[in-house]
Structure 1
């Protein structure tokens, strides 16, 4: 006799096959053109992604093509692990993140209309509570994914970073809301469409970069540069985050997928 878990797994696979469930890719394509964070001097920047050809059906490899990849950890759609930030400097590296916390319910909060009016918009506690009033509480092990509409700039580095006089103007979260998410909610992670989980001007907040400080400090995770959040319902989707298990890694480029009810989005 099949267990309830076996039956549930079979139903899941059946619904994937018959279109009852669909898979939506939330990941930005990774290339040398992928917009990446640019820190001002004297801070050091990561290398951009690049491919180095090793063999291509030639003497170095007559039957195959090989490339080396060169990339920083925090490039493109990527996971921030707890040890990425000073508030949890001895926390888990990417390889130590429990896999069960990389899959969970997606809570999609849409602030795109407000960001269209103010690119420096900061998400506040009342915004999250208003969302909960309409859709239910943030669930244990879930991911709060913030749709800002910023993915429309994903192919334009200058527009994506939106920097004027050395200051990046992109939306984020207030210090109070970041602390509240970290300390008062059971979520596993927080995801955004921008280059980082903090606002472009996050260093001006107290503490600086509060999403990093509070969420990573509380052993929660960040995921950035998401795409296609507009294809997800506010609730009812499942998100799967797949970083490379880099030993000692503070982050990793990741493939992020969502499973949604059929007809709710494009795969």
Structure 2
């Protein structure tokens, strides 16, 4: 039996589960909102072209309008100024789009502190238990934040000081970008950086460090609680937008039962 036939049989039998990690795209899907005077991304919109009517008697279809960074999406290196000469989303390597994952569970810490930041020591402790981070793979941060995904206010968790969402400490972002073999970082929040990232030193360390190192980001992931710490395979399917800085993506995980 070929490898692909074996994989199909495993998926059909349930010995390999396909887990959807994607936030559905709709008008209510939470988006990143920047303070004035910065430009804003568009919310997801469906514009009906026809629906079995005079505009098209036998078919239903829509135009869509959305930003590249809406819902579950892939950040390309050229999304940030530090990676401005890097790859665009259409150039994402297949070895990055289909790759192994490591999942670090920060749920308990985030329940106690919404502004919790991943530290180098946390990753070192994870490696001591589970082995090294996967070469060319993804580091996914499970925080429990996806449970807020149907409530935009709870998902943003903002007050007069801005959003309060978990993320990665600046020195840890630098270390992940420069000294680990991972190809990218995935999170359950609206962006790879913490809500208070503008106040960190440097500001927006995940975007600056990871994209400056040619690495990738995934955001607004769901169902990370269905993944083991190691052993799953991520399948990321962005639109190949030529020159694009990112794209909404369907993200799946293959997990052995």
> Does 2:166 correspond to 1:171?
yes
Contact conserved, 1:40 with 1:166, CA < 8 A, in 2? no
* Residues in 2 aligned to 1:78 and 1:166: alpha-carbon distance in whole angstroms: 26
Residue 221 of structure 1 is matched in structure 2 by: 216
Kindly provide the CA deviation profile for residues 100-126 of structure 1, in whole angstroms up to 9, marking residues without a partner as x.
211111111000000000000000100
Structure 1 residue 152 displacement after superposition: 0.6
Residue 190 of structure 1 is matched in structure 2 by: 185
Superposed structure 1 runs of 4+ greater than 3 Å apart: none
Q: Structure 1 residue aligned with 2:120, among 100, 113, 125?
A: 125
What residue ranges of structure 1 are gaps of 5+ in the alignment?
A: 1-5, 263-267
Residue 3 of structure 1 is matched in structure 2 by: none
> Does 2:154 correspond to 1:151?
no
Residue 17 of structure 2 is matched in structure 1 by: 22
Structure 1 counterpart SS, 2:249: strand
* Residues in 1 aligned to 2:9 and 2:181: alpha-carbon distance in whole angstroms: 31
* Residues in 2 aligned to 1:236 and 1:99: alpha-carbon distance in whole angstroms: 19
Kindly provide the CA deviation profile for residues 207-265 of structure 1, in whole angstroms up to 9, marking residues without a partner as x.
21000001111111000000000011101111111110001110100000001012xxx
Aligned residues between the structures: 257
* Residues in 2 aligned to 1:159 and 1:204: alpha-carbon distance in whole angstroms: 21
Contact conserved, 1:51 with 1:68, CA < 8 A, in 2? yes
> Does 2:90 correspond to 1:95?
yes
Which residues in structure 2 correspond to 1:133-148 (within 5 Å)? 133-148=128-143
Structure 2 counterpart SS, 1:14: helix
> Does 2:42 correspond to 1:77?
no
Structure 2 counterpart SS, 1:236: strand
Task: Return the TM-score normalized by structure 1.
Answer: 0.95
What residue ranges of structure 2 are gaps of 5+ in the alignment?
A: none
* Residues in 1 aligned to 2:139 and 2:39: alpha-carbon distance in whole angstroms: 30
Structure 1 counterpart SS, 2:2: helix
* Residues in 1 aligned to 2:26 and 2:161: alpha-carbon distance in whole angstroms: 25
Task: Return the TM-score normalized by structure 2.
Answer: 0.98
Residue 68 of structure 1 is matched in structure 2 by: 63
* Residues in 1 aligned to 2:82 and 2:177: alpha-carbon distance in whole angstroms: 12
Structure 1 residue 9 displacement after superposition: 2.0
Kindly provide the CA deviation profile for residues 54-82 of structure 1, in whole angstroms up to 9, marking residues without a partner as x.
11111211110110000011000000000
CA RMSD of aligned residues (A): 0.9
* Residues in 1 aligned to 2:8 and 2:182: alpha-carbon distance in whole angstroms: 26
* Residues in 2 aligned to 1:158 and 1:207: alpha-carbon distance in whole angstroms: 27
Structure 2 counterpart SS, 1:17: helix
Structure 1 residue 161 displacement after superposition: 0.3
> Does 2:162 correspond to 1:181?
no
